[in-house]
Amino acid sequence: MKKDKLKLAILDMNNDEPNQGLRCITEIVSTFNDDLEYQIFNVRAKLELPDTSFDIYISSGGPGSPLDEGEWRQPYLQLMQDLWDLNKTSYHQKKSVFFICYSFQVICDYFKLGELKPRRSTSFGILRVHKTKDGLNDLILEGLNDPFFAVDSRDWQLIQPNLKVFKEHGAKILSKEKIRTHVELERAIMAVRFSDEFVGTQFHPEAEPVSMEAYFGEAENKKKVIDSFGEEKYAQMMDRIDDPEKIELTYNTILPKFIQNAIIQMNQPVMS
């Protein structure tokens, strides 16, 4: 007898702006088509939201302020709270949720995990990300170097973690941005495990080399990187795109591990 496929919801937070991220997410999800069926929900532009009957949720990156008080915000946060509460009260299979960049910032603000502030300048490119002690032992980062490389594209950042709130939630910081010479806490928090089932990154783990090479090769994006970091950094970044130990490894590791772990968890026998 053929088993029923699990249901995965992709929450599109791009507000109808052109992007590569959604295609990359669907390509990763499609590699699990023997186990999953997925549906895309246009959250910010069309106020589309799934219910709590899905097994796995991936909430995408997107443009604009993560503090945007659009009509979508309260229903979106209510869904996340409902999923969180289900996980806390259910002995049955749990709901797994992954938050990417914009969504990560929105949920970190909701949980009051730290200060969410605009950056002085856009962080844009393929940058080093450093694991924390907890990150060294976390499933989704297993197999990545330390530091590893990821596509970063953000005007906002989560800094100054509220460690008391982290402790109350049982949340853990998994990675931070590149090491600087000034205050340690001013390094942006780049990944958080909120619980066994909720996890997210402030970078883009779905970014893959082919689309990124095309994206950063466009004149406007090339100029943006060169204006911010210079010609040498741009050349270095383009070199990193083709390196299988850099963003290709991140692409092949984080989201696939998250999905695979969620599938394993959902297929475990239900405890009575």
> Residues 202-237: pLDDT tens digits?
999 999 887 778 777 888 878 877 887 788 878 877
pLDDT band at 184 (very low <50, low <70, confident <90, very high): very low
- Decide: 13 and 57 in contact? Cβ < 8 Å: no
Look at residue 265 and give its three-state secondary structure: helix
Confidence of residue 179 (pLDDT cuts 50, 70, 90): low
Percent of the chain with pLDDT over 70: 94
- For residue 122, give both structure tokens: 């856009």
- pLDDT class of 185 with cuts at 50, 70, 90: very low
The DSSP-derived string for 52-92 is TT-SEEEE---SS-TT---TTHHHHHHHHHHHHHHHHH-SS
Q: What is the pTM of this model?
A: 0.91
Amino acid 160: pLDDT: 86
Which residue pairs, CB below 8 angstroms and at least 24 apart, start in 108-112?
108/158, 108/189, 108/192, 108/200, 109/66, 109/67, 110/77, 110/80, 111/165, 111/169, 111/171, 111/194, 112/162, 112/165
Say which residue, 18 or 145, is predicted with more confidence: 145
User: Which residue did the predictor score with more confidence, 271 or 21?
Assistant: 21
* Closest of 62, 63, 71, 51 to residue 9, by C-alpha: 51
CATH 3.40.50.880 fits 6-208+249-266, yes or no: yes
Using the predicted structure, report yes or no on whether residue 24 has a pLDDT greater than 60. Answer: yes
Q: Tell me the per-residue pLDDT of 231-260, one tens digit each, with 9 for 90 and over.
A: 887 887 787 777 778 899 999 999 999 999
Q: What are the structural domain ranges in the chain?
A: 6-208+249-266
Closest CA to 192 of 262, 125, 135: 135
Return the pLDDT at 220.
83
Statement: residue 269 has pLDDT above 70: no
